Each structure stands twice: as C-alpha cells, then as structure tokens.
A = this chain, B = another copy of it.
Amino acid sequence: MVYLTRVENFNAAHRLWVNEWSEEKNFEVFGKCANKNFHGHNYKLLITVKGMPDPFTGFVMNAKELGDIIKQEITEVLDHTNLNMDDNFLPEGIQATSENLVIYIWKQLVPHLNNCALHSVRLYETEKIYAEYFGETMNEF
C-alpha cells in the first residue's frame, strides 16, 4: 500500500456567522471572522489516495488524472468564490470552516475515485491552521 498526495490551491472569501445567534454572541465566538463584509484566504488543499502501484505504470493513480479530478470537482468550483454567498457545494446553514470543508471535499471526491481509495483531505486555511479528515464517522449533516 502506497500513498500518493497531490496539492492544489484555491482562493475564496468567507465569513463565520450563526444566524440563530445575536451579533454580540457571533463576535464573542468568531471574533473578526464574523466581520460582515467577509475576508478571504489562499486555501491549500492536499488530497491523499492509497493503493498498490500498478506493475506497468508504477502509479497508485496517475497524478495528472488525480489533479484533473481535484480541479474539476473542487478547486474550479470554489476558486474565486464566496463560500457563504455563491452557489457552491456547502449546504445551507453549514459554516464554511476548514473542518466542514474537508468533510464536503471528501464526499465530493469519493465518487470520482474508482481505482484507488481516498485516504485523507487536508486543507490549509493559512500557513498556521489546517484541518484534516480521514473519512472517520461523523455527525450526520
């Protein structure tokens, strides 16, 4: 079993805000991440797949093909968007945190990976904060 990781990037705006909460509580919990006109990040995404290297190609998966799937399903959908306002793949009412994004990116990618297994989705929000998801059990959305 060998793991292959590919890095891609997208740039997006977002804001953290719970509609059911007062403005005061939102700022208490989210600080300046609750600012009303959004802020943004250069997101860096690491997708890891795993499998046996093919005896002919030596590939767990063709890295170019993996890049194409990530771009088509994820980064071209999210790049240069507003994660709260634009009609991209986060369901209504789900905060655009890195923690929720890695779960959704996982769900989005799985159906497109036929010959090898998805191992992890890691998303850097900044160079100092990242979330990672390995497909382990979670809350139902």
Contacts and interface: CB of A to CB of B under 8 A. Distances in A.
Contacts of A30: 57
Interface in A48-80: 48, 52-53, 55-60, 62-64, 79-80
A contact residues, range: 35 or more
Interface in A4-31: 4-9, 11-14, 16, 18, 20-21, 29-31
9 contacts: A3-B132, A11-B41, A12-B40, A38-B82, A39-B81, A52-B138, A53-B99, A57-B97, A59-B99
Interface of A: 1-9, 11-14, 16, 18, 20-21, 29-33, 35, 37-42, 48, 52-53, 55-60, 62-64, 79-82, 85-86, 94-100, 102-103, 126-134, 136-139
